[in-house]
Amino acid sequence: MRTQVGIIGAGPAGLMLSHLLHRHGIDSVVIESRSREYVEHRLRAGVLEQGSVDLLRDTGLGARLDREGLRHEGIELRFDGESHRVPMTGLTGRAITVYGQQEVVKDMIAARLAAGGTILFEAPAERLSGLDSAPVIHFRYQNRDEELHCDFVVGCDGYHGISRPSVPDGVLTTYERTYPFAWLGVLAAAPPAVDELIYAHHERGFALYSMRSPQISRLYLQVPADEDIADWPDERIWAELRTRLETVPDWTLNEGPVLEKSITPLRSLVVEPMQWQRLYLAGDAVHIVPPTGAKGMNLALADVALLGDAFATWYADGSTDLLDGYSRTALRRVWRAQQFSWWMTSMLHRLNADDPYEAKLQSATLRYVTTSPAYATSLAENYVGLPEV
């Protein structure tokens, strides 16, 4: 098989890149180890920054997003028995849209297939070769060993994929932080009791009230990193959510059947540089953020927006300036998102249950955010996404 750009991974990054390349007249093949059914239904992020929404709309992927996405112009910070709204649109002129990652993926797959694009599902990549001059992706497909020859390889295959480990030892530098807690996430058939997301700081730990549609709520609880989901029957989950969220007068949580629940560890990770020879890395393959700042999918889309322009320039006139500068440019946004996600995580989670001084500092920070227009604007402009970093 032969193509111009070989893409490993059919998540938002890989699919969006293939879509962008198609719009520039550049051929690509996407190789995905999982089935189409799996990638279209795996639950991931659900908050799109303004820039991500604009990208989807500008490239013809915004029709269902505009019909079904939930535009939010603020978030609520709940602490010390009080609730304070941060009016993000009022402070920045921009907003977020709640629209599940699996829905973004469905829209992208439909668009690529309608345009005649090639996505090979259940085709695990096994190794890369020729990255210095003539890249080849070696993979399995329909019980056969296959090779995809290409001009460039883009690894959008996540932390556990083969792309990043294909770079020789000593080339990449990893920066990493592991948090001593995790998120217990719940998808529930319960109409949301709020119109905007609630971030709750509580003595028992952080809680987040989000949603996926007018009928489906998405809720999260901070739990110890080694917690077992088997120890959390539905009744215990709802009781803990009530304790951490029902802290203001005349507000109650809507409950309903739990459709799915899982525990996800929190970590921060950045790998530099994001490219080596003719291999370019994007999304979770090179950076991971705690979900508190809602940056994961947005960073992935920002990465491939840069790559789309860079490949278009190279194929148009042979210029390597944008390709050579990809990692340097992308990392500015990555580290801004890392700092914001770390700050939100540190401000809202119970970091050390035995340290009352720390809890007082967190309350003071939250109080400042909710009373200072300047500090609130800083939170808002990072949350909705900075146009340029």
Q: So which residues are the catalytic ones?
A: 72, 199, 291, 295, 383
Cα 100 to Cα 104: distance, rounded to the nearest angstrom = 7
Q: Which residues pair with 47 in a beta bridge?
A: 98
Q: How far is CA 364 from CA 92, 158, 184, 267, 358, in A?
A: 24, 37, 26, 25, 10
Question: In the numeric block, which tokens belong to residue 383?
Answer: 């949350």
Question: In the numeric block, which tokens belong to residue 183?
Answer: 């998120």
Cα 383 to Cα 293: distance, rounded to the nearest angstrom = 7
Per-residue HEC secondary structure of the chain comes to CECCEEEECCCHHHHHHHHHHHHCCCCEEEECCCCHHHHCCCCCCCEECHHHHHHHHHCCCCHHHHHHCEEECCEEEEECCEEEEECHHHHHCCCEEECCHHHHHHHHHHHHHHCCCEEECCCCEEEEECCCCCCEEEEEECCEEEEEECCEEEECCCCCCCCHHHCCCCCCEEEEEEEEEEEEEEEECCCCCCCCCEEECCCCCCEEEEECCCCCEEEEEEEECCCCHHHCCHHHHHHHHHHHHCCCCCCCCCCCCEEEEEEEEEEEEEEECCEECCEEECHHHCEECCHHHCCHHHHHHHHHHHHHHHHHHHHHHCCCHHHHCHHHHHHHHHHHHHHHHHHHHHHHCCCCCCCHHHHHHHHHHHHHHHHCHHHHHHHHHHHHCCCCC
Query: Look-up: residue for tokens 């979770």?
Result: 284
